[in-house]
């Protein structure tokens, strides 16, 4: 706002060195040898690290946001060991006194590669005989256990009812195969880390991350350090969307600093961000749905093949969970495959996995509506999940707002406005389950009665404002008197990361807990001061109030009044909330889009867009709208333009913002936001996480609008101008 | 090779610095003058996070060399608020929640200020095309565009 907020690359320390990474030019190669002697001899080079500086890690799976990862892979992803597995894979890193010297040093590192055949496409990677990335990777989840390694890391499925029986009851069956391209989270701030290791081995690290406690855990593990010795401060974060939930530079910066005995700062270039940090999966998805003549869905089948990148751990599991979650269907069977190929390891991206599978399902739902001659909103309404629906992935839904979002979309003026030639309208719904998890916060009452609020989940889109308003409300103080900050790993108990739409949900629950402690402490102090019994006082409207006869003798006391006398009465005042938040309420949304296709160029313009989503209770309505709008526009990019483009050589061809085309201001219209509020009964304010769901419906909604505009069912994303133009030309639809 | 000695004006203050030939204005602002409000998102002029005004003209400071600014006037985000009082654009961005993570905000504000100086009553389309060089991944642009138009209205009233 004023330029004073400090983001990852804005931190500096006296005597700091510049860290740079040497990256593999090959998509797949055995690393025969690495000779760093010439680089180390260059004046100004203070440290060089390679695979030799990181101990191997045994296989151990740990949660990474909503996905899983394995430490054996994490250590190999931060620094290649036996093989380089994608173009851009880190092979060595240097710390030097200047950028120029660091660059020169990278050129002096002699890496001998034995180049191996590579595989980029997920379907090709699954074929027998495809180049193998890991000779110790055997497909999990199949019986009997395979005796040969493959690129299929895992097969998983969810099943309810009997889909075959369901299809027999169907009057209409629609089956389609879809393909989506990998897309990058596209945060504007590149990864950055500044590390300093002192003589006694204690580490200080500043990094741009969605979870500094997670960074601490990973760095301690990879470098064999006690967690207590590693203090991580999360800087202001310039966007993450899931992509800043893992470590890349952090362990390298610490290892370099330890060797050089000086602080080391590392910042990725945009090209490195594209080539070496996680996009989300591209995928191939087959969907088969059956419906009766009057529109009741009777069976849903899907097969999802998700790219994991070079190491296992794609978001295929949440993809399977979410695929049919918006619908109440008796028979569902979803199979997922997690497949490795020579691409950067995928990272979480907003509702990881869900946009892909729900795009495919929403496209087929739309086709069913068209074939049965039904209104697409009516068809969704007829089949919508509601309170009591048992989702195919397990839980029975409590109160949920899908029907309300459909209803509110139907009532918009937007839905009822006529369209012209080459214009189309599409609708789609979406779901994300949301998570809670481990959360610690503290509230400290300062001597003047103001409140210091500390949370441990980085604020990416208004968390501090939302938590401050909850604390103010709970303690009955004006919100300006609450100063919220994000504490470092030494200041609070463990916090899981900001992700899964959990931080406002869980953080506000923890604040309520911390405030409760303050209130009961002040009630106790009042009893002492007034020589009263607990039933003679109560906490109400920001003060401890005397009741009954006592009220005639003493006056109510506010927090500020207790703070003023805390030196004489009870000492410092504060509370901590340490919870493992349960009861995250799922959030459903429905999006409506109008677009226009230019038959001469194949370019698609989004004309109008409306989002309706269940927020449970919006703590800060403007920021909730912002989540809806931002997610929708990311979805527009995913649907229309964004993709990783690889050449035959296995190298990424569009590693920059010019060629990786994210939406700019002139690409999109205003995004109307409708806040539906069906309270989450498991949260004191009724809150549901809102951040993830908005990216789920746009892909399907836009594909459906494209069909409406052109009569063509596009089954491949992105629907970029060349693809659309070719489809129109092939059908002879755009002849002059 | 010896460094270049450059004298220029930044946010109204006379500055002098030494820079290498290949150093960009953005490098100089951030690393030499410690003005880290201008952000580096791409180094290729595609994201606009490093937007500054050079003699009143909107430029990406990552595409200007440090040695090119000799004798010229540079305005950055750090010079936008006047003392205690925020620029009307900054006030409006806060009021309208026109930012989430905030990394693009300095560039967007500098670019918007340049727009309103030449076009005090812009249409939505004009705002959108003017800001097409400033990537924002969080907001979907809606609240940014509204905030710029609302700030324009405030500024017109004086």
Give the pLDDT of residue A734: 83
Contact A634/A240 with Cβ under 8 angstroms? no
**What is the spatial distance between Cα A500 and Cα A493, in angstroms, rounded to a whole number?**
20
- Both tokens assigned to A217: 């855990």
Contact A514/A445 with Cβ under 8 angstroms? no
Question: Distance (Å) from the C-alpha of residue A200 to the closest C-alpha of chain B?
Answer: 30
Query: Which of A9, A665, A695, A697 best tests the B interface by mutation, with the highest count of B CBs <10 A?
Result: A665
- Please, what is the Cα angle at A308 between A317 and A503, to 5 degrees? 55
**What is the spatial distance between Cα A153 and Cα A136, in angstroms, rounded to a whole number?**
10
Contact B42/B129 with Cβ under 8 angstroms? no
The reply to whether B23 and B71 lie within a common domain is: yes
The reply to whether B92 and B141 lie within a common domain is: yes
Q: What mean pLDDT is predicted for residues A487-516?
A: 91
The reply to whether B47 and B109 lie within a common domain is: no
**What is the spatial distance between Cα A189 and Cα A92, in angstroms, rounded to a whole number?**
23
For chain A, domain boundaries: 405-430+587-730, 437-581
> Is A656 within 8 Å of B44 when comparing Cβ atoms?
yes
Question: Distance (Å) from the C-alpha of residue A293 to the closest C-alpha of chain B?
Answer: 40
- Nearest CA to A708 out of A590, A604, A600, A612 is that of A604
Give the pLDDT of residue A501: 73
Q: What mean pLDDT is predicted for residues A622-636?
A: 97
Using a CB-CB cut-off of 8 Å, the residues of chain A touching B150 are none
Whether pTM exceeds 0.80? yes
**What is the spatial distance between Cα A158 and Cα A140, in angstroms, rounded to a whole number?**
15
A144 preceded by cis ω (within 30°)? yes
Count other C-beta atoms under 10 Å from residue A52's C-beta: 12
Instruction: Assess whether pLDDT exceeds 90 at residue A504.
Output: no
- Nearest CA to A565 out of A704, A448, A467 is that of A448
The DSSP secondary-structure symbol of A200 reads T
> Is A270 within 8 Å of B49 when comparing Cβ atoms?
no
Count other C-beta atoms under 10 Å from residue A533's C-beta: 9
The reply to whether B16 and B42 lie within a common domain is: yes
- Both tokens assigned to A177: 């195969």
Q: What mean pLDDT is predicted for residues A539-553?
A: 94
The reply to whether B69 and B113 lie within a common domain is: no
Question: Per-residue confidence at A140, pLDDT binned at 50, 70, 90?
Answer: very high
Out of B44, B79, B114, a domain closes at: B79
Backbone torsions φ then ψ of A204, nearest 5 degrees: -120, 135
**What is the spatial distance between Cα B47 and Cα A535, in angstroms, rounded to a whole number?**
62
The pLDDT tens digits of the residues spanning A307-337 come to: 999 999 999 999 999 999 999 999 999 999 9
CA-based torsion, A464, A465, A469, A475: positive or negative: positive
> Is B44 within 8 Å of A658 when comparing Cβ atoms?
yes
Give the pLDDT of residue A63: 78
CA-based torsion, A358, A361, A367, A368: positive or negative: negative
Contact B61/B25 with Cβ under 8 angstroms? yes
Residue A316, SS3 per DSSP? helix
Question: What CATH number does residue B56 fall under?
Answer: 3.10.20.30
Out of B49, B79, B109, a domain closes at: B79
**What is the spatial distance between Cα A138 and Cα A348, in angstroms, rounded to a whole number?**
24
Quickly list DSSP for A485-510.
EE--TTTSS----S-TT-HHHHHHHH
**What is the spatial distance between Cα A306 and Cα A314, in angstroms, rounded to a whole number?**
6
Instruction: Assess whether pLDDT exceeds 70 at residue B119.
Output: yes
Helix, strand, coil percentages (3-state) for chain A, rounded to 5, are 30, 25, 40
Q: Return the residue matching tokens 């001597």.
A: A447
One of 3.30.365.10, 3.90.420.10, 3.40.50.300, 3.40.50.1100 is the CATH number of A437-581, namely 3.30.365.10
Question: What CATH number does residue B127 fall under?
Answer: 1.10.150.120
Using a CB-CB cut-off of 8 Å, the residues of chain B touching A670 are 124, 142, 145-146
**What is the spatial distance between Cα B65 and Cα B17, in angstroms, rounded to a whole number?**
13
**What is the spatial distance between Cα A485 and Cα B83, in angstroms, rounded to a whole number?**
24
**What is the spatial distance between Cα A329 and Cα A347, in angstroms, rounded to a whole number?**
31
Instruction: Assess whether pLDDT exceeds 70 at residue A265.
Output: yes
The reply to whether B56 and B111 lie within a common domain is: no
> Is A665 within 8 Å of B131 when comparing Cβ atoms?
yes
The reply to whether B105 and B66 lie within a common domain is: no
> Is A239 within 8 Å of B103 when comparing Cβ atoms?
yes
Q: Return the residue matching tokens 């060595």.
A: A92
Quickly list DSSP for A660-729.
S----GGG---EEEEEE----TTSTT-----SSGGGSHHHHHHHHHHHHHHS----BS---HHHHHHHHH
> Is B109 within 8 Å of A630 when comparing Cβ atoms?
no
Using a CB-CB cut-off of 8 Å, the residues of chain B touching A237 are 101
Instruction: Assess whether pLDDT exceeds 90 at residue A374.
Output: yes
Question: Distance (Å) from the C-alpha of residue B71 to the closest C-alpha of chain A?
Answer: 24
> Is A657 within 8 Å of B42 when comparing Cβ atoms?
yes
Give the pLDDT of residue A1: 80
The pLDDT tens digits of the residues spanning B100-112 come to: 999 999 999 999 9
Instruction: Assess whether pLDDT exceeds 70 at residue B1.
Output: no
**What is the spatial distance between Cα A176 and Cα A707, in angstroms, rounded to a whole number?**
14
The pLDDT tens digits of the residues spanning A403-426 come to: 999 999 999 999 999 999 999 999
- Of A3, A623, A630, nearest to B106 by CB-CB distance is A3
Count other C-beta atoms under 10 Å from residue A380's C-beta: 28
- Of B43, B93, B109, nearest to A269 by CB-CB distance is B43
The reply to whether B53 and B104 lie within a common domain is: no
Q: Return the residue matching tokens 């907020």.
A: A5
Q: Which residues contact A41 (CB under 8 A, 6 or more apart)?
A: none
* Nearest Cα residue in chain B from A670: B142
- Of A270, A629, A657, nearest to B142 by CB-CB distance is A629
Contact A569/A525 with Cβ under 8 angstroms? yes
- Both tokens assigned to A470: 């909850």
Question: Distance (Å) from the C-alpha of residue B8 to the closest C-alpha of chain A?
Answer: 20
Question: Distance (Å) from the C-alpha of residue B15 to the closest C-alpha of chain A?
Answer: 19
Average pLDDT in chain A: 96
Give the pLDDT of residue A427: 98
Instruction: Assess whether pLDDT exceeds 80 at residue A540.
Output: yes
> Is B41 within 8 Å of A632 when comparing Cβ atoms?
no
Q: Which CATH architecture has domain A405-430+587-730?
A: 2-Layer Sandwich (3.30)
Antiparallel, parallel or unpaired: β A297-309 and A45-49: unpaired
Count other C-beta atoms under 10 Å from residue A722's C-beta: 10
- Both tokens assigned to A678: 């069906």
- Both tokens assigned to A344: 């950067």
DSSP-assigned beta bridge partners for residue A206? A194, A233
**What is the spatial distance between Cα A374 and Cα A172, in angstroms, rounded to a whole number?**
13
Label residue A32 left, alpha or beta by phi (over 0 means left) and psi (-120 to 50 means alpha): alpha
The reply to whether B100 and B148 lie within a common domain is: yes
**What is the spatial distance between Cα A194 and Cα A531, in angstroms, rounded to a whole number?**
55
Q: What mean pLDDT is predicted for residues A677-697?
A: 94
Instruction: Assess whether pLDDT exceeds 90 at residue A87.
Output: yes
> Is B100 within 8 Å of A662 when comparing Cβ atoms?
no
- Both tokens assigned to A578: 């340490």
The pLDDT tens digits of the residues spanning A161-209 come to: 999 999 999 999 999 999 999 999 999 999 999 999 999 999 999 999 9
Question: Per-residue confidence at A67, pLDDT binned at 50, 70, 90?
Answer: confident
Instruction: Assess whether pLDDT exceeds 80 at residue A628.
Output: yes
Give the pLDDT of residue A736: 63
Using a CB-CB cut-off of 8 Å, the residues of chain B touching A185 are 137
Q: By percentage, how much of chain A surpasses pLDDT 70?
A: 99
- Please, what is the Cα angle at A418 between A414 and A423, to 5 degrees? 95
- Both tokens assigned to A451: 């409140």
Which residue range is the domain that position B133 belongs to?
88-157
Question: Distance (Å) from the C-alpha of residue A557 to the closest C-alpha of chain B?
Answer: 33
Instruction: Assess whether pLDDT exceeds 80 at residue A65.
Output: no
The reply to whether B93 and B134 lie within a common domain is: yes
- Of B41, B43, B143, nearest to A626 by CB-CB distance is B143
Using a CB-CB cut-off of 8 Å, the residues of chain A touching B96 are 622
Give the pLDDT of residue B83: 84
**What is the spatial distance between Cα A703 and Cα A25, in angstroms, rounded to a whole number?**
36
> What total of structural domains would you count in chain B?
2
Q: Which residues contact B116 (CB under 8 A, 6 or more apart)?
A: B89, B122, B148, B151, B152, B155
Contact A456/A439 with Cβ under 8 angstroms? yes
The reply to whether B92 and B45 lie within a common domain is: no
Out of B38, B58, B79, a domain closes at: B79
CA-based torsion, B6, B7, B9, B14: positive or negative: positive
Question: Distance (Å) from the C-alpha of residue A612 to the closest C-alpha of chain B?
Answer: 15
The DSSP secondary-structure symbol of B31 reads I
Quickly list DSSP for A12-66.
--TTPEEEEEEE-SSSSEEEEEEE-HHHHHSTTEEEEE-GGGS------EEEETT
- Nearest CA to A616 out of A694, A683, A692, A696 is that of A683
């Amino acid at each position: 706002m004023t330029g004073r907020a400090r983001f990852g690359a804005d931190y500096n320390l006296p005597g700091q060195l510049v860290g740079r990474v040497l990256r593999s030019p090959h998509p797949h190669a055995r690393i025969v040898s690495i000779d760093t002697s010439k680089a180390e001899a260059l004046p100004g080079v203070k440290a060089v690290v390679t695979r030799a500086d990181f101990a191997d890690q045994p296989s151990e799976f740990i949660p990474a946001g909503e996905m899983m990862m394995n430490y054996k892979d994490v250590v190999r992803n931060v620094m290649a060991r036996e093989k380089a597995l994608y173009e851009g894979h880190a092979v060595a890193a240097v710390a030097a006194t200047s950028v120029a010297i660091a660059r020169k040093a990278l050129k002096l590192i002699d890496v001998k590669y034995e180049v191996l055949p590579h595989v980029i496409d997920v379907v090709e990677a699954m074929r027998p005989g495809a180049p193998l990335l890991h000779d110790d990777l055997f497909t999990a989840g199949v019986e009997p256990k395979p005796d040969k390694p493959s690129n299929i890391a895992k097969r998983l499925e969810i099943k309810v009812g009997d889909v075959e029986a369901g299809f027999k009851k169907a009057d209409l069956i629609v089956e389609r195969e879809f393909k989506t391209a990998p897309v990058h989270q596209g945060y504007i701030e590149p990864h950055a880390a500044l590390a300093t290791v002192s003589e006694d081995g204690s580490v200080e690290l500043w990094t741009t991350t969605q979870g500094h406690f997670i960074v601490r855990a990973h760095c301690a593990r990879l470098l064999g350090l006690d967690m207590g010795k590693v203090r991580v401060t999360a800087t202001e974060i310039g966007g993450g969307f899931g992509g800043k939930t893992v470590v890349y530079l952090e362990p390298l910066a610490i290892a370099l600093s330890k060797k050089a005995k000086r602080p080391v700062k590392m910042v990725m270039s945009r090209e490195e961000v594209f080539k070496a940090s996680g996009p989300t999966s591209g995928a191939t998805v087959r969907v088969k749905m059956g419906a009766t003549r009057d529109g009741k869905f009777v069976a849903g089948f899907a097969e999802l093949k998700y790219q994991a990148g070079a190491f296992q751990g794609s978001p295929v599991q949440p993809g399977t969970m979410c695929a049919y979650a918006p619908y109440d269907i008796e028979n569902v069977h979803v199979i997922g495959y997690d497949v490795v190929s020579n691409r950067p390891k995928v990272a979480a991206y907003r509702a990881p996995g869900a946009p892909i599978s729900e795009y495919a399902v929403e496209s087929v739902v739309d086709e069913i509506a068209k074939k049965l001659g039904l209104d697409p909103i009516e068809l969704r309404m007829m089949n919508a999940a509601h309170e009591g629906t048992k989702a195919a992935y397990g839980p029975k839904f409590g109160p949920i707002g899908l029907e309300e979002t459909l209803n509110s979309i139907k009532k918009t003026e937007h839905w009822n406005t006529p369209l012209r030639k080459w214009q189309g309208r599409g609708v789609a719904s979406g779901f994300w389950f949301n998570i809670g998890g481990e959360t610690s916060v503290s509230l400290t009452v300062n001597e003047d009665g103001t409140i210091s609020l500390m949370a441990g989940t980085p604020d990416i889109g208004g968390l501090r404002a939302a938590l401050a308003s909850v604390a103010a409300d709970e303690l009955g103080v004006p919100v300006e008197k609450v100063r919220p900050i994000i504490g470092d790993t030494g200041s609070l108990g463990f916090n899981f990361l900001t992700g899964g739409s959990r931080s406002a949900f869980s953080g506000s629950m923890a604040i309520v807990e911390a405030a409760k402690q303050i209130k009961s402490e002040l009630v106790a102090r009042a009893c002492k001061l007034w020589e009263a019994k607990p039933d003679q006082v109560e906490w109400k409207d920001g003060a401890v109030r005397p009741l009954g006869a006592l009220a005639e003798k003493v006056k109510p006391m506010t927090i500020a009044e207790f703070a003023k006398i805390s030196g004489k009465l009870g000492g410092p005042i504060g509370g901590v909330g340490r919870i493992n938040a349960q009861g995250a309420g799922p959030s459903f949304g429905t999006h409506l889009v109008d677009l226009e296709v230019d038959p001469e160029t194949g370019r698609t313009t989004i004309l109008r867009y409306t989002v309706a989503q269940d927020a449970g209770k919006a703590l800060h309505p403007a920021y909730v709208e912002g989540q809806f709008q931002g997610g929708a526009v990311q979805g527009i990019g995913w649907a229309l333009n964004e993709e990783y483009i690889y050449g035959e050589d296995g190298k990424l061809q569009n590693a920059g913002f010019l060629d990786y085309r994210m939406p700019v201001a002139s690409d999109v219209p205003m995004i109307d936001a409708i806040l539906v509020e069906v309270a989450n009964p498991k949260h004191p304010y009724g809150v549901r996480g809102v951040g993830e769901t908005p990216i789920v419906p746009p892909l399907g909604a836009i594909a459906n609008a494209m069909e409406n505009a052109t009569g063509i069912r596009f089954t491949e994303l992105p629907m970029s101008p060349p693809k659309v133009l070719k489809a129109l030309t092939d059908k002879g639809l755009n002849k002059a | 090779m010896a460094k270049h000695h450059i004298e220029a004006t930044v946010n109204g203050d006379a500055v002098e610095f030494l820079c290498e030939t290949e150093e960009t204005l953005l490098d100089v602002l951030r690393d030499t003058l410690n003005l880290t409000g201008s952000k580096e998102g791409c180094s290729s002029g595609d994201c606009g996070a490093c937007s500054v005004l050079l003699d009143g003209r909107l430029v990406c400071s990552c595409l200007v060399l440090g040695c090119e600014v000799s004798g010229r006037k540079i305005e950055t985000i750090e010079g936008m608020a006047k003392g205690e009082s925020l620029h009307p654009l900054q006030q409006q961005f806060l009021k309208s929640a026109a930012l989430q993570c905030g990394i693009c905000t300095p560039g967007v504000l500098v670019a918007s200020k340049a727009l309103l100086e030449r076009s005090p009553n812009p249409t939505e389309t004009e705002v959108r095309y003017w800001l097409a060089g400033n990537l924002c991944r969080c907001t979907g642009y809606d609240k940014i565009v509204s905030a710029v138009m609302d700030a324009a209205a405030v500024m017109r009233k004086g």
